[in-house]
């Protein structure tokens, strides 16, 4: 929901596992990467609890891949990294399906995989929420005490949010410190950057890119601003920078 995240391309999770994946997965995209279907779709209603038994576990840097069985069906799912044992029963509600997903870290393509946000152990209804691997799902963002000067010819994050309508569809430069990074989620890398400007809900910008960066880096991104981006299943961004490229400092 982190290689893939980013549980690092919703689920999400997320977040999509949001900016998952965001979630999240330090590898570069190869020109030979199989084309992936990036259209994620909601596959379970939030009120429908699904219960599965874990048959195989693969741990990577940021995510846990699980081969699970539900009745007579087996399939793969991805969650934010955690300890799961084979034979364990887990339950979930919200899930997003992606076909032909390639995990760079595993060098493996899954014909179909579910990115799962909320899980619980056992067959009881899901009551504990875990960070989704889908980068589309907005995670709780930790506000950092940073102060970063805007890029030359660029805008601050606070200004971008305050005047969002005037930047919609335009290519802009934004400079900030990377506070979260997820790789290879839905064929994209996902970064959160902050520069110390803005207020609640307007001080953190989500960026999609093919470049690899690290948390703590101060980066100038140039990309297209999109407003009210909705990836489905309730995962949306009021402001997002898409297809961004890292600029030389």
The 10s digit of each residue's pLDDT in 168-214 is 999 999 999 999 888 877 778 889 999 999 888 899 999 999 999 99
**Token digits for 63?**
């995510």
Whether residue 246 is predicted with pLDDT greater than 60 in this model: the reply is yes
Q: How far is Cα 141 from Cα 203, in angstroms, rounded to an integer?
A: 10
Whether 171 maps to a domain, the answer reads: yes
Whether 127 maps to a domain, the answer reads: no
Whether 226 maps to a domain, the answer reads: yes
Whether the Cβ atoms of residue 7 and residue 115 lie closer than 8 Å to each other: yes
pTM (global) more than 0.95? no
Strands 205-209 and 171-185: unpaired
Whether 186 maps to a domain, the answer reads: yes
Range of the domain at 214: 157-247
Whether 192 maps to a domain, the answer reads: yes
What CATH number should be reported for the domain holding residue 178?
A: 2.40.50.140
User: How many folded domains does the chain comprise?
Assistant: 1
Phi, psi of 161 (to 5 degrees): -70, -40
pLDDT (average), residues 72-77: 93
How confident is the model at residue 112, as a pLDDT?
A: 92
Whether 227 maps to a domain, the answer reads: yes
Whether the Cβ atoms of residue 178 and residue 214 lie closer than 8 Å to each other: yes
Whether residue 145 is predicted with pLDDT greater than 70 in this model: the reply is yes
Q: How far is Cα 144 from Cα 22, in angstroms, rounded to an integer?
A: 18
Whether 180 maps to a domain, the answer reads: yes
- Specify the 3-state DSSP secondary structure of 5: coil
Average pLDDT, the chain: 76
Phi, psi of 25 (to 5 degrees): 180, 70
Whether 202 maps to a domain, the answer reads: yes
Question: 142: pLDDT confidence band, cut at 50, 70 and 90?
Answer: low
SS percent in the chain: helix, strand, coil, step 5: 5, 45, 50
């Amino acid at each position: 929901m982190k290689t893939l995240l980013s549980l690092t391309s919703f689920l999400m999770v997320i977040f999509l596992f949001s900016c998952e994946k965001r979630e999240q997965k330090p590898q570069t995209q190869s020109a030979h990467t199989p084309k992936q279907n990036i259209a994620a779709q909601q596959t379970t209603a939030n009120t429908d609890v699904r219960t599965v038994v874990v048959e195989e576990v693969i741990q990577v840097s940021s995510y846990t891949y699980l081969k699970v069985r539900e009745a007579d069906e087996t399939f793969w799912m991805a969650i934010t990294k955690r300890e799961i044992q084979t034979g364990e029963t887990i339950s979930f509600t919200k899930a997003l399906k992606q076909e032909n997903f390639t995990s760079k870290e595993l060098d493996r393509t899954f014909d179909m995989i579910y990115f799962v946000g909320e899980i619980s152990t056992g067959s009881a209804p899901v009551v504990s929420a875990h960070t989704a691997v889908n980068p589309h799902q907005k995670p709780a963002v930790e506000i950092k005490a940073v102060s970063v000067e805007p890029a030359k010819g660029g805008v601050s994050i606070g200004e971008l949010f305050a005047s969002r309508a005037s930047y919609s569809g335009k290519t802009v430069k934004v400079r900030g410190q990377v506070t979260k990074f997820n790789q290879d989620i839905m064929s994209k890398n996902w970064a959160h950057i902050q520069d110390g400007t803005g207020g609640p809900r307007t001080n953190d910008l989500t960026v999609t890119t093919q470049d690899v960066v690290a948390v703590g880096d101060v980066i100038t991104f140039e990309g297209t601003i999109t407003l009210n981006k909705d990836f489905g299943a309730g995962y949306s961004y009021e402001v997002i920078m898409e297809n961004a490229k890292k600029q030389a400092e």
